[in-house]
Amino acid sequence: MTAPADILARIDIGQLDPASSIAPQIWRDLGMRIVRCELKPGDRLSETDVSRAYKVSRQPVREAFIKLAQQGLLTVLPQRGTTVARIAYPAVLDARFMREAIEADIVAILVNGATETLISDLELEIAAQRAVDPADAVSFTQLDERFHRRLATAAGKEGAWRLLEGLKAQMDRVRYLSLGRFPMPKLIEQHATLVARIAAGDAAGADAAIRLHLREVLRDLPHVRDANPEFFDMPAGVNPTSVDAPIRGGTTP
């Protein structure tokens, strides 16, 4: 288990905006570092050391810790300290299931009301993805996130996307662990197929496209778990599997 001072010494703490609420900034920054695996399971964090690193009082750090614990990113044990939590394997499956349910409805809304401007914007997003160096999975991940957020915003579901951001933190940790296995060209083509189905008003095809796309992570999940067992918290004696609704209708992307 790494000491708090050693952990904070190896990461670059950025400047906080004094004009904005401090606790949400610390929550986002620490959460990002956990998701990107800069902070690893078992790493210890203390309110005192973190507040010193960010040059703030302990209260906003405490608030950030509480929210990160609610997301399953930190484990707070009274009298024993705070550590970065392992990835709860069942939580990854549940988050992926909920994300599919929400984004499938987002896509259904867009099929019925997509404008030429939206389709043009989404095609520009895909062009930006194609321009990424195939070895730069981190940049692609950021563009992928922006693409899906754009879908939610266009459907008037910004609130649903913010909810998803909180739910899918464990799923995002898996994505960063799997960067070496990232099927970038395949994911980009899936995005392109989805946009084409939306533009054509093909409700069944768009539904199938988004569901197949969001099930890609299930292919890599067992391999990522086996390659990084120290990152995962597995139920004793159980190997959870994903249970998903069948994909019906539409043209297979």
The CATH 1.20.120.530 portion of the chain extends over 88-233
CB 202 within 8 A of CB 111: yes
Which residues of the chain does CATH 1.10.10.10 include? 4-85
How far apart (Å, rounded) are the C-alpha atoms in residues 101 and 21? 32
CB 211 within 8 A of CB 65: no
Reported in sequence order, the residue ranges of 154-240 that DSSP labels E, i.e. its strands, are: 232-233
pTM of the model: 0.85
Tell me if residue 44 falls in helix, strand or coil: strand
Strands 81-84 and 44-45 come out as antiparallel
In tens digits, what is the pLDDT along the chain, a chain of 253 residues?
455 555 665 555 667 888 889 999 999 999 999 999 999 999 999 999 999 888 899 999 999 999 999 999 999 887 778 999 999 999 999 999 999 999 999 999 999 989 999 999 999 999 999 999 988 988 999 999 999 999 999 999 999 998 888 788 999 999 899 887 778 999 999 999 999 999 999 999 999 999 999 999 898 899 999 999 999 999 876 778 888 888 876 544 3
Given a contact cutoff of 8 angstroms between Cβ atoms, the answer to whether 253 and 200 are in contact is no
CA–CA separation, 42 and 191 (whole Å) = 36
pLDDT of res. 165: 84
Task: Quote the CA–CA distance of 211 and 231 in Å, as a whole number.
Answer: 27
How far is it, in rounded angstroms, from Cα 22 to Cα 63? 10
Burial of 39 (0-12, 13-18, 19+ CB in 10 A): buried
Third-level CATH fold of 88-233: Four Helix Bundle (Hemerythrin (Met), subunit A) (1.20.120)
Token pair, residue 238, equals: 């159980």
Q: Is 16 helix (H, G, I), strand (E, B) or coil?
A: coil
The predicted pLDDT at position 34 comes to 94
Would you identify the CATH topology of the domain 4-85?
Arc Repressor Mutant, subunit A (1.10.10)
**Distance between CA 82 and CA 92 in Å, rounded?**
22
Q: Which of 86, 73, 104, 180 is nearest to 137 (CA)?
A: 180
